[in-house]
Structure 1
Amino acid sequence: MKSICSRLGLFLILFLGAMYKTTGQETAISIEKNEKWLGGVVNEAHLMPLEEGYNFDLFGNTGTNQAVPLLISTKGKFIWSEEPFRFTIKNNQIIISNRGEAITVDSLGKNLRDAYLNASKRFFPSKGQLPDTLLFTRPQYNTWIELIYNQNQKDIIDYARSIIDNGFPPGVLMIDDNWADYYGRFDFRADRFSDAVGMVDTLHQMGFKVMLWISPFISPDTEVFRELQAKKYLLYDGSSEKNWTDADKPVIVNWWNGYSAVMDFTNPEAEKWFHDRLEHMVKTYHLDGFKLDAGDADFYPINALSFKPATPNEHSRLWGNIGKYYPLNEYRAMWKMGGEPLVQRLRDKKHNWEDLQKLIPHITVAGLLGYQFTCPDMIGGGEFGSFIGKDNLDEDLVVRSASCSALMPMMQFSVAPWRVLSEDNLKAVKKMVALRQKYVPYIMDLARQSAENGEPIVRTMEYEFPYQGMAEIKDQFMLGDKYLVAPVVTKENKRKIQLPKGVWKSDEGETFRGPKIIEENVPIDRLPVFELMNKG
């Protein structure tokens, strides 16, 4: 037996080695005819499958969203490294450039599904745990677009009451940024929250669970900053000192809200301090969980000194560890951490059709990188700058955004539909919420299965139907292996739908035999869904 295993191991080395060649710190992997590659960066997924000339450097860069050192192919191959690398598509090759770390290239699969499952089982196996199931079973509501930086007790309660008064079910309510006096101060600011405990208790009585926005930043020249500096719980400037022991100048980084110091989670004592502050918020204010924002790798300077040496990417990953304490969690930026019970959200999208069209490729590629519990961005868009100066939003866009999210793992509101929509369009959005409730048992079954086996909840067409010419489809997806979902993501009220082989029954009761391309006129209050009745 030992001899057979040794020969098999040698065969695998030779087999895989024949696929690529390494020169210095570059590895070139040949791209076969009709082979398509995806992966690496969620926020670039609308550009996938990757084309000639594409390149991206993962070192210190998570692409403002989630990233993983994984590329997978429609012909069953995957490329993995424990550390970030640069990849370039050139002359029918993938050129991997790194800093000398090991690169794994595996060709044992036959299709995209094989490639993903082989990689996930080996490098980021599912942990058998789910985030809080309320995130799946009810809509989420985020106060960001309605309140921006004016988070305050009165308007938060009013927003929650409006949700119920307008016929929407209570679910998770997220209080966004600027609830504290400064970053690092873990108490509600008294000028905007006269009774924060009473506010949270009232939200609970209304049927909501409550999450609070946090980040790894600390406002400089504050009492908390000075405490953390004295304890050496921050990242330090490595431009003048060569070692952490002698460093005394904290790094100050520029992020979207100004300049801040950054927590050093390579230090177990710093992580404990931060976790203790979160526990203080939970126990004092009766909170249920946290929205953990920022944590992008590019906010961690390359020359920063930390308790333990770490790359910017590793610092980003360590921020992900904080969320494991709380089943009710959400992240917008992440490095690795596939298979964990952590909720990811697609980065803020603008209020336009171009960004709506990114939702499907982004969330399906997230699933191919191990991020199964992913929420699309806020319905209608979450990038607040695109709302400035717009007295009238594109109502069709808001409704189609709701329908696009309805059968994804989660759906999240922020802009209040009842404020910006006509009566008819508001009814259409509420119809999408009701439609989702019909599929919630199936979505939960998929989520539980995913927690055990790692399979994506929402899947690219190529994942379920390999070698049927579907690798380029970016405007429809599979919910598990049973339902084909084809939202309208353009201003037109019609679309083409590509049905794979099999017998399909539409949400309107019509039966089709694939492969077949059909064109549908889709009213604003309809989400086309096709059930696979027979795969043969």
Structure 2
Amino acid sequence: MYKTTAQETVIPIEKDEKWFGGVVNEAHLMPLAEGYDFDLYGNTGTNQAVPLLVSTKGKFIWSEEPFRFAIKNNQITIANRGETITVDSLGKNLRDAYLNASKRFFPSKGQLPDTLLFTRPQYNTWIELVYNQNQKDILTYAKSIIDNGFPPGVLMIDDNWADYYGRFDFRPDRFSDARGMVDTLHQMGFKVMLWISPFISPDTEVFRELQAKKYLLYDGSDKKSWKDADKPMIVNWWNGYSAVMDFTNPEAEKWFHDRLEYMVRTYHLDGFKLDAGDADFYPVNAISFRPATPNEHSRLWGNLGKYYPLNEYRAMWKMGGEPLVQRLRDKKHSWEDLQKLIPHMTVAGLLGYQFTCPDMIGGGEFGSFIGRDNLDEELVVRSASCSALMPMMQFSVAPWRVLSEDNLMAVKKLVAIRQQYVPYIMELVRRSAETGEPIVRTMEYEFPHQGMAEIQDQFMLGEKYLVAPVVTKENKRKINLPKGVWKSDEGETFVGPKIIEKHIPIDRLPVFELLNKE
């Protein structure tokens, strides 16, 4: 079926066979098409990545190490550095391919993240406060959530709460009583997460301490050994230039974990949003305590989240089956990016990331929410609709600030719709923790070989509900019902296969319950 050389594996693509996987942030380009080419080495695609490809014919491709994969002349070519490549063709469909790979290489651990992440909406302070994170406005935001009729849930305090990166204390000029703030948020019904990263600001007291202990990555351009290395690696990331923690060193990981525990004890925090950690922030020529690829450094950042049931990641390498929450990368405030949510979420599920969160509702790009000129209220509502029956639902921009009364009521109705499905979502969450099976699934996963592999604007919530949100500016859409008997949220019954076209009001989320599969 395939041939292998020392560093290249070639797999023929069968007629009508479609392939998915590798990189979550590329999922809108899947199934993979002729000419596609991506190198996973040192590149997690600004989101989650896994060295796994799965096919609608039941095959999967896996390696423990990053590889380059390309589609050309009806073949997949896997190129790497000589590591073992597994090609398995025992399955018959996409579901078989995923489950066979999952059970063999990243079985679920039977553990859950904090269930509040699923049962209530989440709220992130980023869009409202950006880099001006401060006690007064955080409490105002939390109070406004409740005053405007939204249920309390997880509240995430975003970046710039400390004097500098690596300093584990709230900055006193913006937080006069951080512990009291967190206690007040608890009394209001929230659990509190705090943004952190693996970066250390240079020329600071903490930097000098970590340099002396050799807990940082070192510049390997002079090819010194780790023992002799003396120049910390400084990387460029979205907030400037920083040193990076070296988590191949167990003592460095312990130091960082101790700092997190200090924050929990001192400020009564419940968990952490662990940002950055992308493989491309770990230079290929970096020297670490233990030799590691950039991808392995990214994976080690993921280990820290296991200490805290309340966690969230935006970048990850491997780690499928773990009780780690994965959020899709920040999306722009645009219809084009809204249309990426479903394919990105469903491919995340095919890579072992089941405890997934779509991006912040309306997008995570704060510039779009300054003033009203660039804001599309309908887009915010449809974004809430798209998120409502995904595993998690996260707000950042305050809907009551940017929406008209009618559109605000539409968003609140969507939150109420979600609450009706929370028992079923939690059933899927608990089952997924045992089996690894996706919570949100592609149509092809549940209905193989019915011509649904390329559908990107609807998804299955488990095996029971077909969810078809509007993701375009038009207030109508076509809904593709597979074989079976379906009952809509409006009470109509349909027999599939059938394509129906519907006008969808702004406050409606089309959901079809599968009554009988055949």
**Which residue of structure 1 lines up, in the alignment, with residue 274 of structure 2?**
292
Deviation of 1:388 (Å): 4.8
**Which residue of structure 2 lines up, in the alignment, with residue 449 of structure 1?**
431
Q: How does 1:479-518 map to 2 (within 5 A)?
A: 479-518=461-500
Q: Tell whether the 8 Å contact from 1:392 to 1:420 is kept in structure 2 after alignment.
A: no
SS at match of 2:387: helix
Deviation of 1:108 (Å): 0.1
Deviation of 1:391 (Å): 4.1
Deviations 1:191-211 (A, max 9, x none): 000110110000000000000
**Which residue of structure 2 lines up, in the alignment, with residue 152 of structure 1?**
134
**Which residue of structure 1 lines up, in the alignment, with residue 85 of structure 2?**
103
Question: What is the number of residues matched between the two proteins?
Answer: 518
Match of 1:356 among 313, 338, 342: 338
Deviation of 1:384 (Å): 2.2
Match of 2:45 among 39, 44, 63: 63
Deviation of 1:390 (Å): 4.7
1:468 aligns with 2:474: no
**Residue type at the aligned position of 1:340:** E
**Which residue of structure 2 lines up, in the alignment, with residue 197 of structure 1?**
179
Deviation of 1:383 (Å): 2.0
SS at match of 2:254: helix
Deviation of 1:387 (Å): 3.7
So what's the TM-score if we normalise by structure 2? 0.99
Structure 2: distance between partners of 1:468 and 1:390: 44
Deviation of 1:241 (Å): 3.3
Structure 1: distance between partners of 2:468 and 2:325: 24
**Which residue of structure 2 lines up, in the alignment, with residue 8 of structure 1?**
none
Match of 2:55 among 49, 58, 73: 73
**Which residue of structure 2 lines up, in the alignment, with residue 324 of structure 1?**
306
Structure 1: distance between partners of 2:42 and 2:6: 22
Q: Tell whether the 8 Å contact from 1:407 to 1:436 is kept in structure 2 after alignment.
A: yes
Deviation of 1:393 (Å): 1.4
**Which residue of structure 2 lines up, in the alignment, with residue 13 of structure 1?**
none
**Residue type at the aligned position of 2:247:** F
Structure 1: distance between partners of 2:154 and 2:357: 13
Q: Tell whether the 8 Å contact from 1:132 to 1:327 is kept in structure 2 after alignment.
A: yes
Mind listing any 5+ residue stretches in structure 1 that lack a counterpart?
1-18
Deviation of 1:360 (Å): 0.1
**Which residue of structure 1 lines up, in the alignment, with residue 404 of structure 2?**
422
**Which residue of structure 1 lines up, in the alignment, with residue 14 of structure 2?**
32
Deviation of 1:242 (Å): 2.6
Structure 1: distance between partners of 2:237 and 2:254: 24
**Which residue of structure 2 lines up, in the alignment, with residue 413 of structure 1?**
395
Match of 2:353 among 371, 375, 379: 371
Deviations 1:423-472 (A, max 9, x none): 01000000000000000000000000000000000000000000000000
Deviations 1:368-420 (A, max 9, x none): 00000000000000122444565451010000000100000000000000000
**Residue type at the aligned position of 1:189:** R
Deviations 1:450-505 (A, max 9, x none): 00000000000000000000000000000000000000000110000000000000
**Residue type at the aligned position of 1:223:** E
Match of 1:333 among 290, 307, 315: 315
Q: How does 1:178-217 map to 2 (within 5 A)?
A: 178-217=160-199
1:383 aligns with 2:365: yes
**Which residue of structure 1 lines up, in the alignment, with residue 125 of structure 2?**
143
Structure 2: distance between partners of 1:340 and 1:431: 33
Structure 2: distance between partners of 1:89 and 1:242: 39
**Residue type at the aligned position of 1:502:** G
Structure 1: distance between partners of 2:195 and 2:441: 29
Structure 1: distance between partners of 2:300 and 2:369: 33
Deviations 1:39-79 (A, max 9, x none): 00000000000000000000000000000000000000000
Structure 1: distance between partners of 2:369 and 2:8: 44
Structure 2: distance between partners of 1:111 and 1:427: 42
**Which residue of structure 2 lines up, in the alignment, with residue 83 of structure 1?**
65
Structure 2: distance between partners of 1:487 and 1:46: 16
SS at match of 1:380: coil
**Residue type at the aligned position of 1:42:** V
Deviation of 1:212 (Å): 0.1
Match of 2:150 among 156, 163, 168: 168
Q: Tell whether the 8 Å contact from 2:67 to 2:79 is kept in structure 1 after alignment.
A: yes
Deviation of 1:26 (Å): 1.1
Q: How does 1:168-317 map to 2 (within 5 A)?
A: 168-317=150-299
Structure 2: distance between partners of 1:391 and 1:234: 45
Match of 1:401 among 375, 383, 391: 383
**Residue type at the aligned position of 1:191:** D
**Residue type at the aligned position of 1:113:** R
Structure 2: distance between partners of 1:483 and 1:26: 41
Q: Tell whether the 8 Å contact from 1:151 to 1:179 is kept in structure 2 after alignment.
A: yes
Structure 1: distance between partners of 2:485 and 2:152: 38
Structure 2: distance between partners of 1:389 and 1:370: 39
- Percent identity between the two aligned chains: 90
Q: Tell whether the 8 Å contact from 2:163 to 2:171 is kept in structure 1 after alignment.
A: yes
Mind listing any 5+ residue stretches in structure 2 that lack a counterpart?
none
Q: How does 1:119-134 map to 2 (within 5 A)?
A: 119-134=101-116
SS at match of 1:520: strand
**Residue type at the aligned position of 2:476:** K
Structure 2: distance between partners of 1:274 and 1:23: 42
Structure 1: distance between partners of 2:375 and 2:269: 33
Structure 1: distance between partners of 2:171 and 2:230: 30
SS at match of 1:82: coil
Structure 1: distance between partners of 2:365 and 2:450: 36
**Which residue of structure 1 lines up, in the alignment, with residue 98 of structure 2?**
116
**Residue type at the aligned position of 1:357:** Q
Structure 2: distance between partners of 1:387 and 1:419: 10
**Residue type at the aligned position of 1:91:** N
Deviation of 1:22 (Å): 1.8
**Residue type at the aligned position of 2:195:** W
Structure 2: distance between partners of 1:456 and 1:513: 26
**Residue type at the aligned position of 1:294:** A
So what's the TM-score if we normalise by structure 1? 0.96
Q: Tell whether the 8 Å contact from 1:86 to 1:98 is kept in structure 2 after alignment.
A: yes
